[in-house]
Amino acid sequence: MTQMSNQTQTITGIVIKEIKTKESDKIITVLSKELGVINIYVKGAMRLKNKFHSATGLFTYSEFVIFRSRSSDLYQLNEASVKHIFHALSTNVEYLALAMYMSELVCEVSVPNDMNNEILRLYLNILHMLTTGKWSVLLCKAAFEMRLMCDTGFRPALLGCKACGEYEKDMFFMDVVNGDIICPTCMKAHQTDRMIMEKPAMLAMRYFAYADLDKMFSFTVNDFFARHLALVRENYVLRHTKPEYKTLQFFKSVQSQEI
Ligand SMILES: [Zn+2]
């Protein structure tokens, strides 16, 4: 039996990053339900025989018993047990590359505390759709980018044309810098930096931005529009967070389909 002090706490979350430190120790970054994104120091985790070896593995969803030492910002690990392993991530490099990009994105935006649960659920659901092949890789990417940006304070105004308020059109043009849309009637000739959003892509984007998380995954869109959507979303993310992601470059280098 482990003696628990008052300071220990139990959390559930997924390991989104790991950094090896001296010898066989590592620091893992966990996207958790209870505390958002936190770093945990794991002693001896790199040894195969270590009892925390699988529960602290990258992209493993686990329960962790942690405590905080007074001298450090890092949490320390007391116990860990596996809840779910996404096995397909270890056999498909494109899946793995997308999961790595999703992690870098989560670490880049500031994840608000009251929304942790939503973001963890989003992350887990996307990994599920990805690894079971229910959604294409590009649709998973676009949906994750869209929803994460919305939930961290970068929700674009998608309900109607910026100028006339029109909701229903076969096509809109999106301004990724200002995060708004304009209809073809109101579009001025000089506004060439806007990206075309055809109806199916527009509908998908609205769905990902406004639907309840539970319902979001019942939606689907064909490959052509998923590709288009992925391009617009990526552009939006790069404009609003940082211009370059190493993991995005890696994702592109292993991608089976060209965007
Ligand atoms: Zn208009």
pLDDT bracket for residue 115 (50, 70, 90): low
How many angstroms is it from 169 CA to the middle of ligand 1? 9
Residue 20 — pLDDT band, cuts 50, 70, 90? very high
pTM > 0.85: yes or no: yes
Alpha carbon distance, N-terminus to C-terminus of the chain: 54
> What is the arithmetic mean of pLDDT over 208-221?
89
For the chain, domain boundaries: 9-85, 88-254
| Helix, strand, coil percent content, the chain, rounded in steps of 5 | 35, 25, 40
Neighbours of ion ligand 1 (CB under 5 A): 161, 163-164, 166, 183, 186
- How much of the chain, in percent, has pLDDT values that exceed 70? 94
Q: Which of 8-12, 46-50, 111-115 reaches the highest mean pLDDT?
A: 8-12
Q: How many CB atoms lie within 10 A of CB 1?
A: 3
Minimum mean pLDDT among 6-20, 104-118, 152-166, 199-213: which range?
104-118
For 83, the enclosing helix (H) or strand (E) is strand 75-85
Cα–Cα distance list, 239 to 179, 207, 233 (Å)? 10, 22, 10
- Which residue in 99, 84, 85, 201 sits closest to 140, CA to CA? 99
Question: CB burial class (10 A; 0-12, 13-18, 19+) of residue 3?
Answer: exposed
pLDDT more than 90, % of the chain: 65
129-175 tens-digit pLDDT: 999 999 999 999 999 999 999 998 899 999 999 999 999 999 999 99
Pick 86 or 190 by higher pLDDT: 86
Q: Please tell me the distance between residue 191's alpha carbon and the centre of ligand 1 in angstroms.
A: 13
Sequence-distant (6+) residues with CB within 8 A of 205 are: 146, 158, 197, 229, 232, 233
CATH number of 9-85: 2.40.50.140
Query: Is-same-fold flag (9-85; 88-254)?
Result: no
Could you tell me the distance, in angstroms and rounded to a whole number, from the CA of residue 181 to the centre of ligand 1? 9
- Residue-wise pLDDT tens digits, 71-100: 777 999 999 999 999 999 999 999 999 999
CA dist., res. 45 & res. 54, Å (int): 9
Q: What tokens were used for 170?
A: 């076969």
For the domain made up of 88-254, give the CATH fold: de novo design (two linked rop proteins) (1.20.1440)
